[in-house]
Structure 1
């Protein structure tokens, strides 16, 4: 059922989401708590609601499928942040697996970045769409079927704004993905927003490590690490100090 009064989900319980949930009050999820989702279900934050999903490096909040044999797209989205969500919503040190989309942010700039999370076997890792964007920092996104990070600078209704901006930094998008990071521009150059991509690693993509598409944007690309992609980028845009590795760059793989 929808959450309309403040709640705390505690580590000594496992929470089973068997119908779509709207968070419309304060929901705090303790480190180490496990939240399981039935097929096709999701949890949305809207109508002034605040989600605090903050674990620790050794005890993340865990979002997963309730299937005995989980796989890609078992459920829709565990953290779907709508435009009407509170800017105090925070997602850090959370572990998300087997969803269609790990985190979706629609036209919202939160007070804190989406940061220090781990994503495994989702169709998309992080998706953002709209004029306002929340920065994306220090996430490990592994085996996303289509894209580790997918950002649309235009809203779902086709609006764009030259004041739009997003920082995408210090993320690793690795393995079994069409593209590591995809950013979609806007059709009118007067509405082009700013995308800053700094210190990201994109590796073993079937199509492109970095994929900047669909029109106009101002993109600053610095210090990208590339390894094992079919193509490191989808066209020869300018970038500063790329690092192209030819040998396996990780101490160990997930």
Structure 2
């Protein structure tokens, strides 16, 4: 009770208010702009409604424009997320658990390699990756996006660190004494205790793959395999050139539709983080 009566810091409150505005104003602009038609976008301020309410018309036009190519991009993005981010989460979980709970020669070297991989930005590896996949004949295929997405050094590091404390060695020894094999221990004990960490890694991998732009841009030249990021960028580019046909209202509406699954993922995975925090608060 005493903590509730403590005075609030004006500086901290002001900083959090500024940060909240910095976060919400772009989202408000996106939502408001998605309700405008193309002419209204050019004639009214960004943070003010103008013209007839066109949100549902914009959504319908976005989904049907150019023979419904937007829905194809949605399917491509979901494929890349499920196969790439899902696979990255599985690999990071298995590898992180093994590195945390098993001692073997070269463990420190593996740790150094993982830290080095985290420090290298993904854009620096995009061109070498393109050259490698070009030699293998995998460009302009989904594999050019899925295979690189399977590598998630930060996710592996996160599971490694989390598993070190979240999975007690005593519990694993008790399971071994009861006759359980290592695979069974991992599937029945390790995964349950690692649920908050797995959810966090899954979300990070999903966001990274969902928002991936540069790698698909250089790997893919066929619009049928574009993800949403590259596809909407191509729509935005239609405003340039001699025969420009701006469709900003579709780009904005598509961007709004694009963030809805990410918001849903945050809300669905929130309970795993809350359970992890609760478990940490009572840990002795």
Sort the TM-score into its range (normalised by shorter chain).
under 0.3
**Alignment TM-score, normalising by the size of structure 1:** 0.22
Structure with more of its chain in helix, by fraction? 2
